[in-house]
Structure 1
């Protein structure tokens, strides 16, 4: 993967240095800011792929996040106190791509950033990416989910879209609202509750591996395992083998 530019806004100097050093040692180009004013200045002169934002740096976090989301299409990861769950939920609703509890753990942050990179790769290649996880192979272009025993589960459009979003960002919590954006509203979902129905169908198709799709009640779902992605290679008989909802 190409080296990504990460901009870290953290009010804690030690945490800021630790995160910058850790990500830098993993090949990322890292810039840091201690205040909101520094963030805005750096935004004007840098091309950034991921913003890591401490919500405590803002007088009005919701307004600041809305401003940032309006200025960039880069991934935004926010951090807030352990007792500020409501703030993290609001951040997701305002456009953040992920929300974590402070202090941020370097390894967890790295995993989330790598998830965004995989998601970006999948977006560039469209359906021409397959995902492998826990012995399963997910082939979005063919709407197929192939189990460890090579048994094939056929997915509806909605199931495929939902699983593709989860697989492209493993261990990242996806809100029901975000999932609603990718699942075909005409045939799969008109309310947040109906996302639960699509997830239930996917879990049934995963069988004994159903626990890989985990839920945070009131927040959303994640695919809670390591995922690798690879270019999709057509198999004999793949042509035209797409399955409608």
Structure 2
């Protein structure tokens, strides 16, 4: 990753800002830090950033309020939230955060999440004339510690779901942008096709040990996922509700 990839770290804790900034700098990212949302907005007005790492719990103005005020052209945001703060995580996802991570976090896990979000954004952005190869290189060649590499692909009803790159394409080969939670939910469906799945099963398979924290969020994630699938080519009836039982992933799936 070259130094043109710029990350803004927003946290009121100077130690955390320095730790994250130094770690990301060692992995080739250019970083700036801000102690509060006001400083964040000042930097955004002056410079271009590719991603924001935004803390939730800050004095005077919290990260969720700052997230709400970001405009449509703002870079993607990864929220950092206190351990056990499930409400903040859920609200952050609903308000448009691209991902979340509990604090204190392992810097390597944060690095992996950053790479995933940047890959999704690079794949979704329209390529400038004469630059498609560069965009493809960003998507295909950025490594992600702890995650399977591109090549593990699920196909259903003309759709293509790359589990390594965490990307979804409709039958017209148009990228459908999914949040991390929506991608996990779709993966749970695609790995258990043509059978009725209960809400509890979906929670277990998409969230694992964190399923209790997301009990209130699963309905929101499911609604958003179905809406995004419907917006794609031929995705109107991929997930069907089975009354009083659960949900059915209709198409067959091939590897």
Number of positions where the alignment pairs a residue of Structure 1 with one of Structure 2: 188
Hey, what's the Cα distance between the residues in 2 that align with 1:193 and 1:165? 26
1:112 is matched with which residue?
113
- SS state of the match for residue 124, structure 2? helix
1:91-170 matches, within 5 Å, as 91-124=92-125, 133=149, 136-137=152-153, 143=159, 157=170, 165=177
Candidates 67, 70, 74, aligned match of 2:69: 67
SS of 2:48's equivalent in the other structure is coil
Change (3 A) 1:124 1:63: closer
Change in Cα spacing, 1:121 to 1:43, as seen in structure 2 (3 Å) is closer
- CA RMSD, Structure 1 to Structure 2 (Å): 4.1
Contact map agreement 1:9 1:36 (CA 8 A) in 2: yes
**Structure 2 match to 1:17:** 18
- Determine the C-alpha separation between the residues in 2 that align with 1:188 and 1:177: 13
Q: CA deviation at 1:90?
A: 0.7
Distance of aligned partners of 1:76 and 1:137 in 2 relative to their CA distance in 1, 3 Å threshold:
same
Q: Give the secondary structure class of the aligned counterpart of 2:96.
A: coil
Partners of 1:125 and 1:38 in 2: CA distance: 30
- Partner residue, 2:196: none
| Number of the residue aligned with 1:173 | 181
- Asked if the contact 2:161–2:169 (Cα under 8 Å) also holds between the matched residues in 1, the reply is no
User: Normalised by the size of structure 2, how large is the TM-score?
Assistant: 0.58
TM superposition shift of 1:52:
0.5
Asked whether the 8 Å contact 2:78–2:98 carries over to 1, the reply is: yes
| Superimposed CA distance per residue, residues 54-83 of structure 1 (whole angstroms, 9 cap, x where no aligned partner) | 111254534322102x26331111111112
Change (3 A) 1:107 1:178: farther
- Would the alpha carbon gap of residues 37 and 102 (structure 1) be closer, same or farther in structure 2, given more than 3 Å must change? same
Mapped partners of 2:169, 2:122: distance in 1? 23
Aligned position for 1:187: 236
1:40/1:25 Cα in 2 relative to 1: closer, same or farther (>3 Å)?
Answer: same
Deviation at 1:12, TM superposition (A): 1.8
Aligned partner of residue 205 in structure 1, secondary structure = coil
Structure 2 gaps of 5+ residues are 128-132, 141-147, 163-167, 183-220
Report the Cα distance in structure 1 between the residues aligned to 2:25 and 2:109, rounded to whole angstroms. 15
